[in-house]
Copies of this chain bind each other. A is one copy, B any other.
Amino acid sequence: MARLAGVSISTVSRALRQPDIVSPDVRGRIDEAIARLSYRRNVVAGALASARGMTIGVIIPSIINSFFAATIEALEQGMAGSGYQLLLGNTGYSAETERQLVSSFLAWSPAAMVLTGRRHQSETVGALLSSQIPVLEMWELSDHPIDMIVGFSHRSVGQIVLQHLARRGARQLGFIGAYMDKDYRTADRRTGFVEAALQSGYDAPIEVHLPERASAIGGATGLKELLARNPGIDAVFCSNDMIALGALFEAGRLGLAVPGDLKICGFGDLEFAAACEPPLTTVRPPGREIGLQIAKLLRGRLEGTTDGGGSFDLGVELVPREST
């Protein structure tokens, strides 16, 4: 290949990485040879030689969860054309699995690592730190990120919802949350909600904690249980729109008018929320924005701009619709 272009191997390598530092005619010959041989640079060899790979390890709890899927898609789009490839791993909400994933991803000598959340095993943090690469945590906030963190405050989500329901005249509050022993972000939203409720003089919200992942079925059974425990409940915060959807249908089956008899608020602003009857009030997390911001920070770091770490709060937005 170098022979065909009549230049040395190293010149080819240079031409490929920084086309403008080689003379135009040499570049032309190389481009031509590349086309003729349909040559493709071997990323693996490149990674080995330069000791920095062209992968970015991304670890999320679950790819099924559309919150993270949106972030991944945005991240991928944001990194498109950079030559970096995403290596994806699911923890299934297990810190131990996360540790294993980090460990095996580091064997790829990735250019950077992206993790979900701020709570990790100490070995995980240690491995990350000693790898010396940019580390991005996401979907939460922290005063002491490993390196950089971009997300929002789940407690404020709970607070915002409480304030909204209070404004709409809620009297007795309910809460349905799923998978809270594993998904501590959901637990944070609950905490923000409950604390704000108590501070505002409400009775403690009646709570149903679903053991499984958020689902519409769970929302339906959750609402039934909630009302069985206290029929006076007139406003319920569901930790996820999917739960809210199930609660909405269940309210219909129970003959409860929404929002007249029961106000329902979700979280996620999933695509169907606006199409429900009544349209679902919810809180929109910056899922895509997180991915794009990470791509931006990553490109900055990887292309040399050595700005330090930090915490980036992308905020959330209450989307008031007719269900509250």
Contacting A275 at CB < 8 Å: which of B63, B246, B274? B246
Once the chains bind, are A275 and B215 in contact (CB under 8 Å)?
A: yes
**Is A90 among interface residues, defined by CB-CB distance under 8 A?**
yes
The 8 A CB mask of A237-263 against B (1 = contact, 0 = none) is 000001001100110110000000000
A72–B69 CA distance with the chains assembled, in angstroms:
12
Q: Is A225 an interface residue (CB 8 A)?
A: no
Asked if A34 is at the interface of the complex by the 8 Å CB criterion, the answer is: no
Q: Which of B83, B86, B275 contacts A245 (CB 8 A)?
A: B275
The answer to whether B271 touches A215, judged by C-beta atoms less than 8 angstroms apart, is yes
CB of A53 within 8 A of chain B? yes
Q: Is A180 an interface residue (CB 8 A)?
A: no
Q: A279 → chain B, closest Cβ, in Å?
A: 9
Contact at A87–B87, with CB atoms within 8 Å? yes
1/0 contact string of A49-60 vs chain B (CB within 8 Å): 000010100000
Interface hits, A175-230 → B, CB 8 Å: 215-217, 219-220
Query: Which of chain B's residues has its CB closest to A247's CB?
Result: B275
Report which of B48, B87, B220, B275 forms a contact with A216, defined as CB distance below 8 A: B275
Q: CB of A76 within 8 A of chain B? A: yes
Contact across chains for A45 and B42 when beta carbons are under 8 A apart: no
**Smallest distance from the beta carbon of A56 to chain B beta carbons, Å?**
11
Decide: A40 and B106 in contact? CB cutoff 8 A. yes
- CB-based contact B53/A63 at 8 Å: no
Query: Which residues on the B side are within 8 Å of A103 (C-beta)?
Result: 40
The 4 closest A-B pairs by CB, nearest first: A216-B275, A216-B272, A249-B277, A246-B275
Main secondary structure of the interface of A (DSSP, over half): helix
Q: Are A48 and B44 in contact (CB under 8 A)?
A: yes
Q: Distance in Å from the Cβ of A7 to the closest Cβ of chain B?
A: 21
A70 to B72, CA, bound (A): 15
C-alpha spacing A118/B299, complex, angstroms: 35
Which of A44, A69, A89, A242 has the most B CB atoms < 10 Å from its CB?
A44
Is B45 a contact partner of A275 (Cβ separation < 8 A)? no
**A residues neighboring B (CB under 8 Å):** 40-45, 47-48, 53, 55, 62-64, 66, 69-70, 72-73, 76, 83, 85-90, 103-109, 215-217, 219-220, 242, 245-246, 249-250, 252-253, 271-272, 274-277
Bound CA span A219–B245, Å: 16
A64 and B66 form a contact (CB under 8 A):
yes
- Cβ-defined contact, A64 with B53, below 8 A: no
Find out whether the CB atom of A86 lies under 8 angstroms from the CB atom of B85. no
Alpha-carbon distance between A150 and B10 when the two chains are bound, in angstroms: 44
Across the two chains, which residue of chain B brings its CB closest to A251?
B277
Residues of B within 8 A of A88 (CB): 72, 76, 86, 88
- For A90, the chain B residues whose CB sits under 8 A away are 73, 76
The distance in angstroms between the C-alpha atoms of A48 and B51, with both chains bound, is: 13
Roughly how many angstroms separate A150 CA and B83 CA in the complex, as a whole number?
30
Collect the chain B residues with CB atoms within 8 Å of residue A64's CB: 66, 69-70, 73
The residue among A73, A106, A216 with the most chain B CB atoms within 10 A of its own CB is A216
Contacts of A246 in B (CB 8 A): 272, 275
